[in-house]
Amino acid sequence: MSVPRPDREAMPTIETIVTRRIPPIPWVEGDNIPWDDPAFSQRMLDEHLSQDNDLASRRVALIDEQVDWIHEALLGRTPSRILDLACGPGLYLQRLAPLGHAGVGLDFSPAAISYAKARAGELPLVYGCTDLRTADFGAGFDLALLLYGQLNVFRRTEAASILQKARAALNPEGLILIEPQRFDAVRSQALNPPTWSALPSGLFSDRPHLLLTETYWNEETRTGIERFFVVDAGSGVVSAYSMSTEAYQDEELADLLADAGFACSEIADGFVPAGQTKDLVALVGRG
Ligand SMILES: C[S@@+](CC[C@H](N)C(=O)[O-])C[C@H]1O[C@@H](n2cnc3c(N)ncnc32)[C@H](O)[C@@H]1O
C-alpha cells in the first residue's frame, strides 16, 4: 500500500482542527458529506445495502412494508409513473416496478446509480446520475418521492425549488410523498457530544484513520451542523467535511408544499415504520 507524501504547506493538517471556527456557520464549510465522490459513493453503497443497520437506506424488511403502503394505501394499486428523488440504489423503485409501476430515479451518487441500473433489467425503470438542485425532473409523473430525511439536508431555498420542480413534473392530480426529519430529531442530534474513533477503514477512507465528529445547533436559523475530520494515520493529512440540516416544524412543511403549488397536504400516518416515528414524519401533498 503506498502512503501519500503530502506537501505540508498545501495540505490541511491538525491545525485545521485546532483553529476551526466555534460555533460553525451553517452551510459555510460545506453542505453535505461527499455522496457524489466516486470512491465515497462506492463505500456508501455497502451501507445502503447493509442489513445490519438503517444508516443510508433502511433494511429491506422495512422498505418492503413502505412499498406496500405506497402501492396499496397511496396509489390504490393503480399503475403509476413514479419519480424517486434521491433514489440511492433504487431500492423502492426496484420493488414498485414488479407491482405494475414505472419509474425514474435520480441521484448524484455514481455507485448507487450504477447499482440501480444494473438491477433494473427489463423493468420499466430509468435512472439518472444528477444533482437534484440543477436537474431537469421531466414531466408526466403521478407520484414523486423524497424519502428518508433528504429534504432537510438542502438549503431552505433549494428544498423549496426542488419541491416546485417536483410539482411541475407531476400530472395535475399528482401526489408527492416526502419524509423529512422531525424538528426535535434534528435539534437533539445537533446537541450530541463530540466523538472520535480510530478505524482501520471506514466510510470516509479505506485507509487507517482517526475520525472526529462534532455537532452544533444554530437556534437562530434552526439548523444543525455536523463536522467530520478525517486524519490519515499514515500521512497526518486532515480531510474536513461538514453538513448542515434544516429543522422544520410540521406546519412549515405544510407551508413548503403549499408554496410549491400543492393544493393540500396531510400527515401520512402509517408510512414511517413504527420504530422511526420519533425521527421522521411523512406528508403527502396533493396536486
Ligand atoms: C439517506 S440516502 C436515501 C436514499 C434512498 N432514498 C433510500 O431511502 O434508500 C440519501 C440519498 O440522497 C442522495 N443525494 C444527496 N444530495 C443529493 C443531491 N444534491 N442530488 C442528488 N442526490 C442527492 C445521496 O446520494 C443518497 O443516495
For 187-201, what is each residue's pLDDT tens digit?
999 999 999 999 999
- Atom 20 of ligand 1 has which residue's CA nearest to it? 131
**pLDDT for residue 7 is more than 70:** no
Taking the centre of ligand 1 as the mean of its atom positions, its distance from the CA of residue 234, in whole angstroms, is 31
With a 6 A CB cut-off, is 44 part of the ligand 1 pocket?
Answer: no
- 10 — pLDDT class (breaks 50, 70, 90): low
Which atom of ligand 1 approaches the CA of 150 most closely? 10
Q: Are 103 and 126 in contact (CB under 8 A)?
A: yes
- pTM equals 0.95
Which atom of ligand 1 approaches the CA of 135 most closely? 20
Q: What is the mean pLDDT of residues 237-251?
A: 97
Taking the centre of ligand 1 as the mean of its atom positions, its distance from the CA of residue 42, in whole angstroms, is 13
Q: What is the mean pLDDT of residues 79-101?
A: 98
- 8 — pLDDT class (breaks 50, 70, 90): very low
- Give the tens place of pLDDT for each residue, 35-76: 999 999 999 999 999 999 999 999 999 999 999 999 999 999
- 3 — pLDDT class (breaks 50, 70, 90): very low
Q: Are 57 and 46 in contact (CB under 8 A)?
A: no
pLDDT at residue 54, rounded to an integer? 96
Q: Are 118 and 56 in contact (CB under 8 A)?
A: no
Q: What is the mean pLDDT of residues 218-243?
A: 97
**pLDDT for residue 175 is more than 80:** yes
pLDDT at residue 6, rounded to an integer? 46
The string over 150-186, giving b where at least 16 C-beta atoms fall within 10 Å of a residue's C-beta and e elsewhere, is: bbbbbeeebbebbbbbbbebbeeebbbbbbbbbbebb
CA distances to 72, 111, 203 from 55, rounded to whole Å, are: 26, 17, 11
Taking the centre of ligand 1 as the mean of its atom positions, its distance from the CA of residue 148, in whole angstroms, is 9
